[in-house]
Structure 1
Amino acid sequence: MESWSTFGGDLHLDLTGRRARGLGLRAALEDALREAVQDGRLAPGTRLPSSRALGGDLGVARNTVVEAYTQLAAEGWLTSRRGSGTTVAARATPSRPVSCPAEPASGPAIRYDLRPGRPDLSLFPRTAWLAAARRALATAPHDAFGYGNPLGRIELRRALAGYLARVRGVRTDPAHILLCSGYTQGLALLGRALSDRGTGTLAVEAYGLPRHREVARFAGPATEPLPLDEAGARTDLLAGSRAGAVLLTPAHQFPLGAPLPAARRQAAVEWARERDGFVIEDDYDGEFRYDRQPVGSMQGLDPERVVYAGTASKSLAPGLRIAWLALPGALVEPLARLKTLADGQSGVLDQLTLAELITSGTYDRHVRRCRLHYRRRRDRLVAALAERAPDVRVTGIAAGLHAVLQLPDGAPPEAELLARAAAAGLAVGALADCLDDPRQAPRAAPALVIGYGTPPEYAFAGALDALCTLLEPLGRPSR
């Protein structure tokens, strides 16, 4: 008996319109197949369904399909071999090829990627992830694969509640944790929920990730820049702002790198209490600390006024699209409702796998290995610049996966340096691109933002050499 899986899959053919134009059944089938080959929907080599399967699907006699296949084979459109089924002939090139949009011109190819915000993807623990996925699948209840709680699987919410309390000092429980399809979705949901509560303006750090500001504005609130100094965000200025909520990176300000002092954290929390507002704590790389003690979460100061946002994007991989929000009680129901409207729930298989990694201790061991790896990367970056570009000052390196390179007096504008880097196949970031309001006074000297986590190990030495070659001439007196 011929099987559908052996002799081809589903095939969409419109016979109704052709029959309405007066074509007979066989002629309509031949015309539809011929057109599908001509316009490229059926590429050369594509195996067609068996005559019995296609006839059953279209509601026509098998002999009608056999005759149509035979005619098209005689015309050279199809090839039929006994025991091998019917395929589209290799010489049947489409007369109207299906075209894809051209890739936008992007200049020279990137050989070395030192843009910030990206981990070394070669560190993803494939073997451990696969083993955890197998264990999770073997023990998962049947209802795990149905429509579930929009907050996410209870296994991962329980695991995260314990892990975040132990590692980041977060005070929460599984009922207050929402699992999101990436931090971007979490921020969008928060922006919409805050807007629904009447928050018209969200304060954001004057330097930050542009995409996050765009996401917040798209979700509803306008954004208002909060000034920074060498100690981080000026939370004392919140009282004079229009904002009803503030987005902060208190553990490691992005991109400048300072941890927010305790007094400023307390000031932000007290402002939120007085304003009946909220602090959104973006803890994007809170697990990676090198030269100082880990800084606990702001959320621990007041779990009813601070939303804690974390992600697996840096510790594992951004492609997993796993993030979490530890929510104040007042935001749980609104966020759950919005999550239901957005996508119902995030994929459960990766949630179950991550829960298994955390509860088995594998995740902790992986993070420790990554922390050592990135610290060595940072040390190599600092040593190379000290030797070859000593006039460049490296800052913001006590934590995280990026550094700010303060360039010496007389250095060319950042845009010119980025163009030079691109011509050499090197991708870097510019500090000016992180500025919220371009009308703000520019910094006294240009600076680059370098992500030292991105290149795989085999490419890191080359990336460092390319960076040093770019920066070596800076600061040297002209002759």
Structure 2
Amino acid sequence: MLFINLNRKSSRPLTQQIYEKIRRDILNRELKEGERLASSRGLASTVGVSRNVVLEAYDRLIAEGYLEVRPKSGTFVAKGSALPVYVKTTDHDQRMLRTDDELQILDFRGGNPAIDQFPRKKWGGLTKEVCGEAPDRIFGYGEPGGIKELRVTLAGYLQRVRGVHCHPEQIMITQGATQALRLITELLIREGTGIAVEDPVTDEMRNIFINAGADLVPVPVDEDGILPDCLPEEKKPGFVFVILSHQFPMGGILSIQRRVRLIEYARKMNNYIVEDDYDSEFTYEGAPVPSIQGLDPERVIYVGTFSKILSPALRMGYTVLPEHLIEKFRHLKWFHDRHASSIDQLVLSRFIEEGHLDHHVRKMKKIYRKRREVLVSSILSSFKEAKIIGKAAGMHLVVDIPGAVFTNDMVKKLKEKGVRIYPVVQYAIKKGLHEQQIVMGYGGLTPEQIVEGVEKLKVFLDGRK
């Protein structure tokens, strides 16, 4: 039996209300498969509407496959139109499905920026301006490599801030650094080809390379970054992947001497260096070291992102390519997603041109420096023998705590206590070297949360002795 209560004061048309009620009852199995519905005339009389209103709702449901008409028999609920029976989860299941925010987890993830500091008002204002003033072409299909306005702006910005030498045509706008690295891998690597990667290295990048069919050739790092003398000599890798400005996770900043040796290696092997310029804007001691791309633009593919500077939600990254790779990369990009949002690109271009990005970076450097100082102070006061690894840069550091062994079981139990940490060993390709080291990010936590998290870590580790 079908009961429909219409709200005649609603802005939703009566036909829409009837359609939604029948559709919902079918999906929830309140109307069974094969069940006969009232005739359009009969239902119209019951609910007090014209027959045409019901006919329109029925026609839509028939077109979408929810109902079927059987000649001389009537209108029936079609077979296969209901959702599977939903099994209600237990209270325990609901607890397991809660997010870290709901559980109030203090998450020391290394790549989390301070989301609460995103310049919403300024970004929203620029978005409104762009939507009102932008030429019509911005609202149509764009170029795979990105709109010219942003590429021109970025070329100037990267030259000024990171020492990158390029013209706008060498810049390709991507959906974050992740897509850029995926496309570079597709471009340069055939299945089974090796990629020389720093070890340890971010698991996200490692997974991108593995999923593309590449073999990983681990190259050890020390506290100053990758060791060029350990690069493979017998078999040429497709490229060498490095994070030179603040290595993840160990935090080293590569010296000019090692940078020169990297370039010499790429020239000798006739391959490329892929430079992920991870959180290079945030250096707290001395001046930032310029990009290695500026030393050899034909051997270095430069990758950057605004996810760490502004917000991961923007999904705005870019790569700077040697000229002979531009067309092949543009072709791949078109097949992946045609192009990134032209409106967001134009907003970002304005944001940079008007000086808002420089202002935001200066502001965030002060905030992140303070949070790093609080974390270092809390760690050293709580763990007298602990060692802080990594240069004063970025949004994370590594803590070495003698006597601690950070297993998966320990990480799980600590999370149950409200703190989430990241053992360095989970980023390592060769195991056995980093059991007492953890990555602690401070970008997404307030000073008060940092202190609370370290105190909980101290109590937890003391309780296991």
Correspondence 1:422 to 2:411: no
Aligned mate of 2:267, from 273, 291, 303: 273
Correspondence 1:307 to 2:301: yes
Aligned mate of 1:39, from 7, 21, 27: 27
- TM-aligned CA deviation for residue 232 of structure 1: 1.6
Correspondence 1:234 to 2:227: yes
Aligned mate of 1:399, from 387, 393, 396: 393
Residues 60-80 of structure 1 deviation map (CA, whole Å, 9 limit, x = unaligned) = x9624347989xxxxxxxxxx
> After superposition, where does 1:36-435 map in structure 2 within 5 Å?
36-40=24-28, 63-66=51-54, 105=96, 109-195=103-189, 200-240=193-233, 242=235, 243-408=237-402, 410-435=403-428
- TM-aligned CA deviation for residue 429 of structure 1: 0.5
2:7 maps to none
Residues 34-87 of structure 1 deviation map (CA, whole Å, 9 limit, x = unaligned) = 454232499xxxxxxxx9xxx9xxxxx9624347989xxxxxxxxxxxxxxxxx
- TM-aligned CA deviation for residue 423 of structure 1: 2.2
Q: Secondary structure at the match of 1:137?
A: helix
Aligned mate of 1:436, from 420, 429, 432: 429
**CA distance in structure 2 between the aligned counterparts of 1:241 and 1:364, rounded to whole angstroms:** 45
Q: Say if 1:110 and 1:427, in contact at 8 Å, map to a contact too.
A: no
2:436 maps to 446
Residues 259-317 of structure 1 deviation map (CA, whole Å, 9 limit, x = unaligned) = 11212111111221222211000011000000132111010011111011110111101
**CA distance in structure 2 between the aligned counterparts of 1:95 and 1:138, rounded to whole angstroms:** 43
- TM-aligned CA deviation for residue 414 of structure 1: 3.6
Instruction: Give the structure-1-normalised TM-score.
Output: 0.78
Q: Say if 2:222 and 2:252, in contact at 8 Å, map to a contact too.
A: no
Q: Number of paired residues? A: 411
Change beyond 3 A, Cα 1:271–1:293: same
Q: Say if 2:273 and 2:299, in contact at 8 Å, map to a contact too.
A: yes
- TM-aligned CA deviation for residue 241 of structure 1: 5.1
Q: Secondary structure at the match of 1:455?
A: coil
Instruction: Please tell me the residue identity of whatever aligns with 1:63.
Output: R
Change beyond 3 A, Cα 1:339–1:99: farther
- TM-aligned CA deviation for residue 7 of structure 1: 2.6
**CA distance in structure 2 between the aligned counterparts of 1:338 and 1:354, rounded to whole angstroms:** 24
**CA distance in structure 2 between the aligned counterparts of 1:156 and 1:390, rounded to whole angstroms:** 49
**CA distance in structure 1 between the aligned counterparts of 2:451 and 2:320, rounded to whole angstroms:** 39
Change beyond 3 A, Cα 1:238–1:323: same
Q: Secondary structure at the match of 2:144?
A: coil
Q: Which moved more, 1:312-321 or 1:447-456?
A: 447-456
Correspondence 1:7 to 2:1: no
Instruction: Please tell me the residue identity of whatever aligns with 2:342.
Output: V
Change beyond 3 A, Cα 1:208–1:10: farther
Q: Secondary structure at the match of 1:404?
A: strand
Q: Which moved more, 1:444-453 or 1:163-172?
A: 444-453
Change beyond 3 A, Cα 1:69–1:352: closer
Residues 362-384 of structure 1 deviation map (CA, whole Å, 9 limit, x = unaligned) = 11000110011000000011111
**CA distance in structure 1 between the aligned counterparts of 2:163 and 2:270, rounded to whole angstroms:** 24
Change beyond 3 A, Cα 1:66–1:134: closer
Q: Say if 2:375 and 2:450, in contact at 8 Å, map to a contact too.
A: no
- TM-aligned CA deviation for residue 154 of structure 1: 1.0
Change beyond 3 A, Cα 1:234–1:148: same
**CA distance in structure 2 between the aligned counterparts of 1:169 and 1:294, rounded to whole angstroms:** 10
**CA distance in structure 2 between the aligned counterparts of 1:99 and 1:124, rounded to whole angstroms:** 40
Residues 201-244 of structure 1 deviation map (CA, whole Å, 9 limit, x = unaligned) = 11111111112111122224222111223332122232515312
Q: Which moved more, 1:360-369 or 1:266-275?
A: 266-275
Q: Secondary structure at the match of 1:212?
A: helix
Instruction: Please tell me the residue identity of whatever aligns with 1:214.
Output: N
Q: Say if 1:191 and 1:220, in contact at 8 Å, map to a contact too.
A: no
- TM-aligned CA deviation for residue 143 of structure 1: 0.4
Instruction: Please tell me the residue identity of whatever aligns with 2:154.
Output: L
Q: Say if 1:395 and 1:405, in contact at 8 Å, map to a contact too.
A: yes
Q: Say if 1:414 and 1:447, in contact at 8 Å, map to a contact too.
A: no
Q: State the identity %.
A: 33
Aligned mate of 1:455, from 438, 441, 445: 445
Instruction: Give the structure-2-normalised TM-score.
Output: 0.80
1:467 maps to 457
**CA distance in structure 1 between the aligned counterparts of 2:442 and 2:240, rounded to whole angstroms:** 29
Residues 403-444 of structure 1 deviation map (CA, whole Å, 9 limit, x = unaligned) = 100011x22444354134212111111010010234xxx126
What are structure 2's unaligned runs of at least 5 residues?
Answer: 1-9, 31-39, 59-81
**CA distance in structure 2 between the aligned counterparts of 1:364 and 1:119, rounded to whole angstroms:** 16
**CA distance in structure 2 between the aligned counterparts of 1:278 and 1:450, rounded to whole angstroms:** 31
Instruction: Please tell me the residue identity of whatever aligns with 2:333.
Output: K
Q: Secondary structure at the match of 1:227?
A: strand
**CA distance in structure 2 between the aligned counterparts of 1:265 and 1:391, rounded to whole angstroms:** 33
- TM-aligned CA deviation for residue 471 of structure 1: 5.0
Change beyond 3 A, Cα 1:292–1:10: farther
Change beyond 3 A, Cα 1:11–1:299: farther
Q: Say if 1:420 and 1:470, in contact at 8 Å, map to a contact too.
A: no
Change beyond 3 A, Cα 1:444–1:422: closer
Instruction: Please tell me the residue identity of whatever aligns with 1:219.
Output: A
Q: Which moved more, 1:315-324 or 1:391-400?
A: 391-400
